[in-house]
Amino acid sequence: MQSWQLPEHVADVLPTTARQLESAREQLLALFRVHGYELVQPPLMEYSSSLLTQIDAGLSLKTIRVADQISGRQLGIRADITPQVARIDAHLLSANNGINRLCYAGSVLHARPDGFLSTREPLQVGAELYGFADIAADIELIDLMLKSMVVADIGEVLLSLGHIGVFRALAQAANLDGEQSAQLLALMQDKDAEAVRVLVKAWQLDGMWAKAFALLPTLYGGREVLVEARAQLPDLFAVGSALDELQAVCDAFPERAVHIDLSELRVDNYHTGLLYAAYGDKSHDAVARGGRYDGLGRYFGRSRPATGFSFDLRTFIGRLPAIERQSVVVVDWKDVAAAGEAIEELRAQGQCVVVDYGIDYNGSNEVAGRLQNTDGIWQVVEV
Calpha distance 59→363 (Å, rounded): 42
Q: For 44-101, how does the pLDDT look when each residue is reduced to its tens digit (9 = 90+)?
A: 999 988 887 677 777 888 899 999 999 999 999 999 999 999 999 998 888 888 999 9
Q: For 200-256, how does the pLDDT look when each residue is reduced to its tens digit (9 = 90+)?
A: 888 888 888 889 988 998 999 999 999 999 999 999 999 999 999 999 999 999 999
Calpha distance 325→320 (Å, rounded): 15
Q: Summarize the confidence of residues 135-152 as an average pLDDT.
A: 94
CATH match for 1-154+288-324 among 2.60.40.650, 3.30.930.10, 3.40.50.970, 3.40.50.300 = 3.30.930.10
Q: What is the pLDDT of residue 299?
A: 86
The answer on pLDDT for 361 being more than 70 is yes
Q: Which residues are annotated as a binding site?
A: 80-82, 124, 128, 266
Q: What is the pLDDT of residue 251?
A: 97
Give, in words, the CATH class of 158-279.
alpha beta
Q: Which residues are annotated as a binding site for L-histidine?
A: 80-82, 124, 128, 266
pLDDT, greater one: 268 or 119: 119
Amino acid, res. 169: A
The answer on pLDDT for 1 being more than 60 is no
List of residues 6+ apart from 316 with CB closer than 8 A: 24, 152, 153, 154, 287
Q: What is the pLDDT of residue 266?
A: 64
pTM recorded for the entire structure:
0.90
The answer on pLDDT for 39 being more than 80 is yes
Residues of the chain with pLDDT > 70: what percent?
A: 97
- For the chain, give every domain's residue range: 1-154+288-324, 158-279, 328-382
If DSSP codes are grouped into helix, strand and coil, which group holds residue 102?
A: strand
Q: Summarize the confidence of residues 280-285 as an average pLDDT.
A: 79
Q: What is the pLDDT of residue 364?
A: 72
Q: For 285-338, how does the pLDDT look when each residue is reduced to its tens digit (9 = 90+)?
A: 889 999 999 988 888 889 999 999 999 999 888 888 888 888 899 999 999 999
Q: What is the pLDDT of residue 265?
A: 64
DSSP state, 335? G
Q: Summarize the confidence of residues 147-161 as an average pLDDT.
A: 88
In degrees and rounded to multiples of 5, residue 228 shows phi and psi of -65, -40
Calpha distance 233→174 (Å, rounded): 13
In degrees and rounded to multiples of 5, residue 213 shows phi and psi of -65, -40
Whether 1-154+288-324 shares its CATH topology with 158-279 is answered yes
Residues of the chain with pLDDT > 90: what percent?
A: 60
